[in-house]
Amino acid sequence: MNKTRGIAIYGKGGIGKSTVVSNLAAAYSQNQKVLVIGCDPKADTTRTLVGKRIPTILDTMRKNKNTSREDVLYSGYGNVACVESGGPEPGVGCAGRGVIVAMSLLEKIGIFEDDLGLILYDVLGDVVCGGFAVPLREEYAEEVYIVTSGEYMALYAANNISKGIKKLKGSLGGIICNCRGINREVELVSEFADKIGSHVVGVITRSELVQKSEIDAKTVMEKYPESEQAQKYRELSFSIFHNQQFVIPQPMDVEEFEEFFQNFNDDK
């Protein structure tokens, strides 16, 4: 049995993590067995793979103490195995704690003993909560990638996430630039990556095909396999697969970050 590769994708809420994760999973499913673990309380990572929302681990456990594998594990496009941790009801409890509970259940039902080539974790990263570090801290995922655009808040969150990764001595494989259409966006994100000692591992263009696929609860990979956008996700899957550049990031402090962002934008 080959060792399973665990990859965690972090980023600010709404930045495009789930879209990246589901399309990567679809790309990798062509030649290996993939498991996707949605660790965001939004619980929509696997929707475009399965074609619908699936019951979350936390919801299922609330209803049934003896949750079985069949209750929480769903098969999606390309036979990708899909689970969603879910979260607490809004306003009560800690979302990170939900991830811990979900991961223990997955261990109990033996998911990590399956012969998996790759596990992709979709992890929210703009909440200061210990639980969000679970995939990394518990060494489920040995590689991390951060999704960002060139927007201030997205980069700010990316910098914060790298602080967490550094603290946990995690291994940052690179930055994924999910473009929003900002001026000199790839250049800005590359400079950011460089500043924290990393590199841009892939660039995903903004495309309306993402929304069009989303309406049908499909990935771009499934709905528009011949499109340029699908090719972008395929290229990203190759770069990550063959990536050799792993670092403990060197995040900026708040002042450095401000200066970096201002300087870039002054320098037109």
User: Interface with ligand ADP by CB under 6 A: which residues?
Assistant: 11, 13-19, 178, 204, 206-207, 210-211, 214
Q: Binders of Mg ion: how many residues, by CB under 5 A?
A: 3
> Among 40, 44, 126, 232, which one carries the catalytic annotation?
126
Nearer to Mg ion, 122 or 185 (CB): 122
Distance CA(81)–CA(116), nearest Å, equals 9
Pairing status of strand 143-148 against strand 81-84: unpaired
- Residue 15's binding partner among Mg ion, ligand ADP, none (Cβ under 5 to 8 angstroms by kind) is ligand ADP
CA–chain centroid gap for 201, Å, is 14
Establish if 18 lies at the interface with Mg ion (CB under 5 A): yes
Which of 13, 117 has the CB closer to ligand ADP?
13
What is the nearest approach in angstroms of ligand ADP to the Cβ of residue 6? 19
Distance CA 25, CA 45 (A): 11
Q: How far is the CB of 120 from ligand ADP (least distance, A)?
A: 12
Residue-wise DSSP of 102-162: HHHHHHHTTGGGS--SEEEEEEE-SS--GGGGHHHHTTS-SEEEEEE-SSHHHHHHHHHHH
Are the C-beta atoms of residues 80 and 221 closer than 8 Å to each other? no
Task: List 122's β-bridge partners, or say none.
Answer: 9, 38
Reply yes or no on whether 216 is catalytic. Answer: no
Nearest approach in angstroms of CB 63 to ligand ADP is 26
> Could you say which of ligand ADP, Mg ion, none residue 231 binds, taking C-beta under 5 to 8 angstroms by partner kind?
none
Active site (annotated) includes residue 12? yes
Residues 39-78, one symbol each (x = binds Mg ion by CB under 5 A, - = not), give -x--------------------------------------
Residue 19 near residue 43 (C-beta atoms within 8 A) = no
In 3D space, the residue among 182, 179, 124 whose CA is nearest the CA of residue 157 turns out to be: 124
Residue 211 interaction partner, one of ligand ADP, Mg ion, none, beta carbon < 5-8 Å per kind? ligand ADP
Q: Is 44 annotated as catalytic? A: no
Task: State the distance between the two ends of the chain, measured CA to CA, in whole angstroms.
Answer: 53
Q: Report helix, strand or coil for 169.
A: coil
State which residue, 155 or 210, has the beta carbon closest to ligand ADP: 210
In the complex, the smallest distance separating the C-beta of residue 3 from ligand ADP, rounded to whole angstroms, is 27
Least distance (Å) between residue 84 CB and ligand ADP? 12
Q: How far, in Å, are 6, 75, 86, 125, 159 from residue 58 at the CA level?
A: 22, 19, 6, 20, 30
Known catalytic residue at 126: yes
Active site residues: 12, 17, 42, 126
Q: Where do contacts with Mg ion occur on this chain (CB under 5 A)?
A: 17-18, 40
